[in-house]
Chains A and B, each alone.
Chain A
């Protein structure tokens, strides 16, 4: 049945009506339908569609014509009701941005749009990262580059350019920074304070900063450099500039420098700078034996040691070596430590501690394929290593690969203790503790002691105490630092 409804003097623009017609035509039981103004020009279109009824012919140009061919009167009526609803509803609102920031397609447009921008955060594939960084530096912006797989030559060139321009080139492969209290990348919400950190590693900075935060002291800035900065090739260009920045910064009273042991000549350059700082400095070269105080510089060999030394200096107190509570009672069935980590520096620190505390020698000197420690079946693996992150997100975001390894370790009768890190804060998984608890629950009754530490603060979206409680309720032993967790793991299997 073909029926026409004329709505007298009821104008709508043709686009609205075309959109409406398209929707109505798709309704079930509708053979043909069109809604148009009954203008003379439109008569031809009604005719072409075979819908030029007498009513349409008689209508005036200001009338809206609704012509529907439906399978039944019932369908006609329901279709007409739908048309009325659509006419009343008007257009739908466009998707307005409620994210709090605008989105554009190019760096040039962004720089123009955001007047006064002072930093570019770059996390594009490595092959393109250097190009984007160069544009940013040319435009006078500092760079925070999370991207990795950037060539050493590009890194040197970018950092040389940055130093010339007095800009901070953080990264490539820089995971974290905190500038004037604002976290960048994977970072925690930290109390503002007088301790400034320069670090070549992401989780190292996070652990030290969070441990400082937990004492009640705060962070002025934390500047990442990327893992290769203190190599012979890169010459510590960013680290040295960052050190100068914190020396000049009025808010910073104590400097902390965290890195793997630098190349020899770079270490000398850096230490020479630090001796001139005019401020107390705490240095932690992970894996270096060096400890003690020389002039304004205090050397420590663990992240907790660096944090405690910095706090002591900031408070004008005596620096004491880090001490740990005795390991809680645990009854391991196996004998081996299985350390399964998401943070590279945390894995590295645990490896150093196990290398010292476990019987035997060696096994912590190389970390190919993310294996930071391997001795007589003991093992520490960093699941954030490239080998495990190809084609998937970092385990701090997507913990599946580590979860699989946890399940395997929990079912392995040789396992004496499972050692874990839990990193929270911005960028990290919204609730890693619950993920871990569920993973362990999937194995059944927990027979293997599990020790974990949480790198994070009460200000983090996941909340430090809440994460800790979730872990403890599931029977996981929670240490107060990564170093303490590793120490406990060694003590449990050794005794």
Chain B
């Protein structure tokens, strides 16, 4: 008789219960260990899609990787091995050759000015005035409406940008190098909260702050970074900050504090003025943009592996949500964005909220942000009226669509187990669980700014499209 049967009859059942909950209850009442699977039809009950995803399990490949699973492991290994390091802060145009006069970067998959939502349009107008391409806001809007400005997605030039993501050539960007792979990524610096350009505000206070960041903050940080031996290893900061309650999207206060602590000596050494220190001390979310650039440098390294089913970019332009997938090359799979659900500042309601926007979902792409909600008890309640256990449930749920855990991000509230990493399109499609993204909520009108914060789900449609594309790539 087989060992398995002998074991069952001598030890009794220890059961995985898929379906009727009462069967699990019976086992528990009789002292047998069990776990319940909250079963739903695969692929949300879409038989054609379920059949397509079923074909993508156990696919053997010819070439470097023996199977999709092996390719996926390699993709995630690149993510785990990345060492994103902040090496400089420079004007965007000096490192992104495409960023010349009358060119703007934007968040998300390609979009035109006229298609953009309020925050993106407001930021464009502000940027055109900031660069001096127009004498005032009216002229700037006219130029933009007449398509006199060229748009490039940030993602196409190794960059990411928060919310509207509007970046012009003289704006300072963080330069983050993944020293493992040698690739670099860029992101603007965080402007603070309230009236800020990423939310579409474009008045004098916004433009003055940007000018100060360009003329003062950026150059001083650059000088200070030059004094460091090898730049600032952001992965190390993240490993520490995650144990202090940051998830690097909604909450970065620990990361920002560590950043300032690490940089303070160097900034003092080069003689940086007080307002630089004050800005870094006051800006709770300063580290978010560092984490975004670090995530981009990490995800781009992973995307060098041109096989598998792992998500290597997630982003939204206010209209569409786009994802890129390791086996599908440089293609956006898009679906209309969802509207974030969350808490609104006094005087605002969900009516005022702009649809989901920004490149910041690059953090969730590599297993930060909403994916590790459990790590940040301080912001868990943005997901609704729930408590601490809801945060743990979210991270456990997200683990179901990821193929690995990240040993570099040990989450205290999960007994120091690593956070989920490596979102597998097949798992998303099969389970119907989509990545959850922590996000700020911009007012839908240009210039008002942030009106709340909450969470939003990546739309299932992106993953459905990617899955069908994968069946063609792999000929199944």
Measuring CB to CB, which residues of chain A are less than 8 angstroms from any residue of chain B?
A: 13, 15-16, 18-19, 21-22, 32, 34, 36, 41, 44-46, 48-51, 91-96, 99-111, 113-114, 116-125, 128, 131-132, 136, 140-142, 144, 146-147, 165-168, 179-185, 187, 189, 221, 241, 244-245, 248-249, 251, 426-427
12 CB-based A-B contacts, threshold 8 Å: A101-B34, A103-B36, A104-B38, A110-B18, A118-B7, A120-B16, A120-B17, A121-B18, A146-B19, A165-B2, A180-B8, A426-B22
State A212–B356 Cα separation when bound (angstroms): 65
Q: Are B12 and A116 in contact (CB under 8 A)?
A: no
Are A123 and B23 CB-contacts (below 8 A) given A36-B346, A104-B400? yes
User: Which residues in window 299-322 of B have CB below 8 A to A?
Assistant: none
* Complex contact A104–B396 (CB within 8 A): yes
Please tell me if the beta carbons of A132 and B387 are within 8 angstroms of each other in the complex.
no
Contacts of B388 in A (CB 8 A): 94
Beta-carbon contact of A117 and B347 below 8 Å:
no
* Inter-subunit contact A118/B8 (CB<8 Å): yes
B352 to chain A, nearest CB (A): 11
Residues of B within 8 A of A100 (CB): 25, 28
Task: Give the one of B41, B378, B387 with max A CB within 10 A.
Answer: B387
Interface of A is mostly: mixed
Q: Which residue of A lies closest to B12 (CB)?
A: A180
With A49-B347, A128-B41 as known contacts, state yes or no: A16 contacts B19, CB within 8 Å: no
3 interchain residue pairs of minimum CB distance: A166-B2, A94-B389, A123-B19
Contact B345 A45 (CB under 8 A): yes
Q: Are A105 and B343 in contact (CB under 8 A)?
A: no
Minimum Cβ distance to chain B for residue A382 (Å)? 21
B24 within 8 A of A: yes
Known: A13-B378, A92-B387, A118-B13. A182 touches B32 (CB 8 A): yes
Task: Give, as a whole number of angstroms, the nearest-CB distance from A301 to chain B.
Answer: 29
B35 touches A113 (CB 8 A): yes
| Contact A181 B12, beta carbon cutoff 8 Å | yes
Q: What is the CA–CA distance of A245 and B2 in the complex, to the nearest angstrom?
A: 8
Determine the chain A residues whose CB is within 8 A of the CB of B343 once the complex forms: 15, 18-19, 22
Separation of A91 and B41 alpha carbons in the complex (Å) = 35
Measured in the bound complex, the distance between the Cα atoms of B389 and A125 in whole Å is 31
In the bound complex, what is the Cα–Cα distance between A358 and B291 (angstroms)?
83
Do B18 and A107 have beta carbons less than 8 Å apart? yes
**B3 contacts chain A at the CB level, 8 A cutoff:** yes
Instruction: Report the Cα distance A398→B471, complex, angstroms.
Output: 44
When distances are taken between beta carbons in the complex, the residues of chain A under 8 Å from B382 are 15
Interface residues of B (CB under 8 A from A): 1-20, 22-42, 54, 193-195, 343-348, 378-379, 381-382, 385-390, 396-397, 399-400, 427, 430-431, 433
**Known A94-B387, A105-B38, A146-B19; 5 more pairs at CB < 8 Å:** A131-B54, A144-B13, A166-B1, A182-B12, A184-B26
Contact partner, B5, options A13, A103, A168, A189, Cβ 8 Å = A168
Contact across chains for B1 and A119 when beta carbons are under 8 A apart: no
Which of B1, B6, B42 has most chain A Cβ within 10 Å?
A: B1
Tell whether, in the assembled complex, residue A142 and residue B23 are in contact, meaning their CB atoms are under 8 Å apart.
no
Contact A18 B32 (CB under 8 A): no
Q: Is the CB of A245 within 8 A of B19?
A: no
Interface centre among B35, B194, B390 (most CB of A within 10 A): B35
Nearest CB in chain A to that of B390: its residue = A94
State the Cβ distance, B6 to closest chain A Cβ, in Å: 7
List chain A residues, Cβ under 8 A from B16.
107, 110-111, 114, 117, 119-121, 136, 141
The interface residues of chain B lying within 8 Å CB-to-CB of A141 are 16
Residue among B9, B40, B387, B389 with max Cβ neighbours from chain A (10 Å): B9
Query: Contacts A48-B345, A123-B19; is A183 near B26 (CB within 8 Å)?
Result: yes
- Interchain nearest-CB distance for B390 vs A (Å): 5
A99 to B33, CA, bound (A): 12
Tally inter-chain residue pairs, CB-CB below 8 A. 233
Quick one: given A93-B387, A179-B12, A185-B23, are A118 and B346 in contact (CB under 8 Å)?
no
Instruction: Give Cα A147 to B193, complex, Å.
Output: 55
A91→B194 CA distance, assembly (Å): 27
Q: A81 to nearest B CB, angstroms? A: 20
Q: Closest B-chain residue to A103, C-beta based?
A: B36
A51 nearest CB across to chain B (Å): 7
CB atoms of B20 and A119 under 8 A apart: no
A114–B34 Cα distance when bound, in Å, is 7
Say whether B19 contacts A119, CB under 8 Å. no
Q: Which residues of B contact A102 (CB under 8 A)?
A: 35-36
A495 to chain B, nearest CB (A): 43
Q: Across the two chains, which residue of chain B brings its CB closest to A138? A: B58
B262 to nearest A CB, angstroms? Answer: 25
Question: How far does the Cβ of B72 sit from chain A's closest Cβ, in whole Å?
Answer: 14
**Most interface-central of A46, A116, A180 (chain B CB within 10 A):** A180
A426 proximity list for chain B (CB < 8 A): 22, 26, 29
In the complex, the answer to whether B13 meets A182 with C-beta atoms within 8 Å is: yes
The verdict on A15 contacting B26 (CB below 8 Å), with A41-B193, A106-B37 known, is no
Instruction: Report if A182-B9 is in contact (Cβ < 8 Å); known contacts: A15-B343, A91-B381, A427-B22.
Output: no
A147 touches B19 (CB 8 A): yes
Query: Once the chains bind, are B19 and A101 in contact (CB under 8 Å)?
Result: no
In whole angstroms, how far apart are the Cα atoms of A142 and B13 in the complex?
9
Selected contact of A128 from candidates B13, B24, B42, CB within 8 Å: B42
Question: Could you tell me the distance between the alpha carbons of A189 and B31 in the complex, rounded to whole angstroms?
Answer: 12
- Which residues of chain A are within 8 angstroms of B348 by Cβ–Cβ distance? 48
Looking at the complex, which one of A19, A32, A167, A183 makes contact with B385 (CB distance below 8 Å)? Answer: A19
Which interface residue of B9, B16, B26, B29 has the most chain A CB atoms within 10 A?
B16
B246 to chain A minimum Cβ distance, whole angstroms, is: 14
Report if A110-B13 is in contact (Cβ < 8 Å); known contacts: A105-B433, A245-B5: no
CB neighbours (8 Å) of B9 from chain A are 179-180, 221, 245, 249, 251
In the complex formed, the residue of A with least CB distance to B58 is: A138
Note all chain A residues with C-beta closer than 8 A to B7. 118
Known: A104-B396, A109-B399, A136-B16. Contact between A118 and B4, CB under 8 A? yes
Chain B residues within an 8 Å CB radius of A125: 41
A140 to B29, CA, bound (A): 25
With a cutoff of 8 Å between Cβ atoms, the chain B residues found around residue A189 in the complex are: 30
Cross-interface CB contact of A21 among B1, B194, B346, B430, cutoff 8 Å: B346
Query: What is the chain A residue whose CB lies nearest that of B24?
Result: A101
A427 with B5: CB separation less than 8 A: no
CB neighbours (8 Å) of A244 from chain B are: 1
Contacts of A132 in B (CB 8 A): 18, 39
In the complex formed, the residue of B with least CB distance to A181 is: B12
* Contacting residues, chain A, for B15 (C-beta < 8 A): 114, 117-121, 144, 184
Residue contact A105 to B346, C-beta cutoff 8 Å: no
Distance (Å) between the CB of B56 and the closest chain A CB? 14
Closest to A179 in B: B13
Complex formed: what's the CA distance from A132 to B431 in Å? 13
Would B11 and A427 count as touching, CB distance under 8 A?
A: no
**Also in contact, A187 and B26, with CB within 8 A (given A107-B16, A116-B14):** yes
Q: Smallest CB-CB separation from A46: which chain B residue?
A: B346
CB distance from B317 to the nearest CB of A (A): 26
Q: How far is the CA of A324 from the CA of B195 in the complex (A)?
A: 90
For A21, the closest partner residue in chain B by CB is: B346
CB distance from B285 to the nearest CB of A (A): 12
Q: Is the CB of A182 within 8 A of B31?
A: yes
Contacts of A18 in B (CB 8 A): 343-345
Whether B5 and A166, one on each chain, are in contact in the complex, defined by CB atoms closer than 8 angstroms, is yes
With A and B bound together, what is the CA distance between A111 and B397 in angstroms?
15
CA distance A46 to B345 in the complex (A): 9
Shortest distance between the CB of B163 and any CB in chain A (Å): 17
The interface residues of chain B lying within 8 Å CB-to-CB of A34 are 346-347
A94–B19 alpha-carbon span in the complex (Å): 25
What are the residues of chain B within 8 A of A22 when measuring CB–CB? Answer: 343
Question: Closest CB of chain B to A193's CB: distance in Å?
Answer: 14
Q: Which residue among A48, A50, A101, A180 has the maximum number of chain B CB atoms within 10 Å of its CB?
A: A101
Q: Out of A15, A104, A167, which one reaches B37, CB within 8 Å?
A: A104
Assembled-state Cα–Cα distance A16/B195 (Å): 23
